[in-house]
Amino acid sequence: MTLMVVMPLVYLLDSSLYKTGVTFLEYMVGGFALLWMIAVVYLAYNMFRPEEKDNAVEYVLSLPIAHWKLLIWKVLPRVGILLALNLLISTLGSNNLWFYNLSGLLSFVVFAQVCGFTLGIVGRKSWVARMMLFIMMICVFIISSIPPELIWKDVVNSISMMPYLPNLSPMLIWMDHVRFSQVSYVIVEFGFLLLILLPLYRAWDLKQVRTRELSFAKIAIVPLIVLAFPVVWLFSS
Amino acid sequence: MIRMSNLSFAYGEREILKDFNLELNAGETVMITGPNGMGKSTILRLLAGVLIPQSGEIDHGYPKGTDPRQKTAFLPDSLSFYRSMTPLEAAKFHAGIFGTEPSDLELAKRAGVDLSRHIYELSVGQRVLVQMAIILSTEPELILIDEVLHSVDPYLRDILFRELIQVMEEKNPTVVMVNLNFHDIEHLADRVIFLGRDGIRLDESVDLLKAKTRRVVAEEIPPEYPVLLTENVMGSRHHIVYPFDKKIGDIADENIREMDLTEIMTAFMGGEYGVS
Amino acid sequence: MYSIDSRSAIPVYEQLKRQIVLSIVSGRLDEEEKLPSIRELAAALRINPNTVAKTYRQLETDGYVSSRKGLGVFISAGVRELQSNRIEIFEELTDEYISKAAGLGLNADEIIKGLAGRLKGEIEHD
């Protein structure tokens, strides 16, 4: 909220912005673009903050609602709001906010929500959590600037070039042939969502922050490594 | 019948329960007690479905696929609730989730609770009553009450127990209470379970426990008596004997005394702290 | 009216039963009088309603009370007249008294003498 006040002031005060011809609207929208990306992760990170503030975590867990339903009910409205905001901002100006296509946008939002949420359940007060949040945000930001098709093709390519691993080129051909449609990326992203969330939902309970971090580290390490793949290959290519 | 089999639960590195087994009969009123940190609240939380055991399982006796929490009422010692809600809102919310009628909060009204105030504004005793009223309104078959009654004044406790007894008489639920104050519920509980360092140290019906425990006042007592605890009381030596079968040796009848539950449990607690 | 002795090793339902029988036989409770509902009695004494139910069932089996559906539990007619009840309870009370008196170190003669003396006083007082 403070940013909303600060940003106009900065615009007014920083003369270099005038000179390069950046309009106020462009500037504000650009700022919000960054803010939006951060918000995507942050909202997920704080998904259960209202319950924590209200001392309602134990109560909610004792209600006859399956954990996954609980999570979906939290995630869906957030995704909806974020998409709506994104649409609003895109219509106002900045191009690079509206992703390559709807599926790209959705995958980004979902992925970022997953990252945020998994961090949220680890805990908020420790330095480990804060650092991981920061790193995740950077990863999310980077990944958001890559067309999804490229990531997957890259991954599949690199795997098939490794010795001793199965030859995945048929899969590449299939991806081309089928024009690995946009929707499938969304499906894959949701797949990852489940991959991380399902084993992790057990970690979201009453355990102390420290023990949750340990459980998180033990369970999530594999899916996270898999997700880190695109980032790693991006830097190496 | 609720069956807990081979349960293991640890808070991270700290193992609380290991290979824990317990059977609760339907309609039973059970009191779980013991020193702090032995796992009493953990057992309640596992029964409530709030914690998921690392190994083992809990069978509530419901058909596969039904959520046992639908028929469970849980009053945690954290008094966890949406405390920014008012009692009326909370009652409505709770009823909505369970699909039952919202509580009329009679119990809270009798405690003089202003139903338009937020829950965080209420005193602890009032909060307990509000939560109790709300969780009982879903017609539960299993009622779990953690150690919340200690901070409730005797008058409020009285109305609370009246309400609980009413529900017990109407619906005959299984009631499990974690309590360190025995005077309150010693005639309410059918069965008492004492959880010590090495697991369940005692699991007995209250009647049998009282029948099998005696305070023997004597300087020396025959070694055949299984003594739980010995202490010096006003110059004489008291030995708490459990299980007491029949009189051995030459001790006057008046020196073999019956005990109330508080005395018996104190002796058991003493055993846990290494006094003997 | 009724109280449960927490110290006693006698089960709660047994204690309650004895007290109710005593009330009936001594005339404190009239015939056809309604006993408190299970809920009321359990709440008043803070005992398990199942215990009260068990007590009432036992009383019914022994013939002291009868339950009328929907109305409650009532004391049976003609119960007070049952000599056997009176005698049984009197014997129990007397045994208790004798063991306590003997605990004071009195012998049989002293007990009888003392008892006779007190009785005379009580009766004259009435």
Closest-approach residue (CA) in chain B for A214? B12
Residue C93 has pLDDT above 50, yes or no: yes
B47-58: per-residue pLDDT in tens? 999 888 888 999
- Give the distance from residue B165's alpha carbon to the nearest chain C alpha carbon, in angstroms: 6
Residue C27 has pLDDT above 80, yes or no: no
A59 interaction partners in chain B (CB closer than 8 Å): 76, 80-82
> What backbone torsions phi and psi does residue B16 show, to the nearest 5 degrees?
-100, -50
pLDDT at A192: 53
- Give the distance from residue C83's alpha carbon to the nearest chain B alpha carbon, in angstroms: 31
Pick C8's closest partner by Cβ from B161, B162, B258: B258
Q: Bridge-partner residues for B73, per DSSP?
A: B143
CB contact under 8 A, A58 and B76: yes
Q: Which range, of A45-54, A191-200, B59-68, B185-194, averages the lowest pLDDT?
A: A191-200
Distances in Å between the Cα of A171 and the Cα atoms of A157, A160, B12 are: 9, 9, 42
A124-142: per-residue pLDDT in tens? 555 655 666 666 666 666 6
pLDDT at A2: 47
B148-196: per-residue pLDDT in tens? 988 899 999 999 999 999 999 999 999 999 988 888 888 999 999 999 8
Q: Which range, of A32-36, A112-116, A228-232, B83-87, averages the lowest pLDDT?
A: A228-232
* Angstrom distance (rounded) from CA C126 to CA C119: 11
Q: Which residues of B touch A (CB under 8 A)?
A: 11-13, 45, 48-52, 67, 69-70, 72, 74, 76, 78-84, 97-98
Residue B24 has pLDDT above 80, yes or no: yes
Q: Does domain C12-75 correspond to CATH entry 3.65.10.10?
A: no
Helix (H) and strand (E) counts in chain B: 8, 13
- DSSP letter (8 states) at residue B205: E
Give the H/E segment covering residue B257.
strand B256-257
- Give the distance from residue A49's alpha carbon to the nearest chain B alpha carbon, in angstroms: 12
* Angstrom distance (rounded) from CA A158 to CA A146: 17
A126 touches chain B (CB under 8 A): no
Q: What ipTM was estimated for this complex?
A: 0.88
pLDDT at B40: 92
On whether the pTM is more than 0.80, the answer is no
pLDDT at A165: 60
* A20 or B121, greater pLDDT: B121
* A15 or B42, greater pLDDT: B42
**What's chain C look like in SS3?**
CCCCCCCCCCCHHHHHHHHHHHHHHCCCCCCCCECCCHHHHHHHHCCCHHHHHHHHHHHHHCCCEEEECCCEEEECCCCCCCHHHHHHHHHHHHHHHHHHHHHCCCCHHHHHHHHHHHHHHHHHHC
* Angstrom distance (rounded) from CA B84 to CA A186: 38
* Angstrom distance (rounded) from CA B74 to CA B48: 6
Tokens of A7: 């940003």
- Kindly list the partner chains of chain C, i.e. chains with 3 or more CB atom pairs below 8 Å: B
- Ordered by start, the domain boundaries in chain A are 22-236
- Ordered by start, the domain boundaries in chain C are 12-75, 83-125
B217-247: per-residue pLDDT in tens? 888 888 888 888 888 888 888 888 888 887 7
pLDDT at A227: 57
The SS3 of residue B92 is helix
pLDDT at C53: 94
* Angstrom distance (rounded) from CA C75 to CA C63: 9
- Map out the domains of chain B with their CATH numbers: 2-196 (3.40.50.300), 210-272 (no CATH)
Q: Which range, of A165-179, A183-197, C107-121, averages the lowest pLDDT?
A: A183-197
pLDDT at A150: 57
**Which residue in B27, A166, B260, A31 sits closest to C6, CA to CA?**
B260
* Angstrom distance (rounded) from CA C126 to CA C120: 10
A88-107: per-residue pLDDT in tens? 666 655 444 445 455 556 66
Residue A184 has pLDDT above 80, yes or no: no
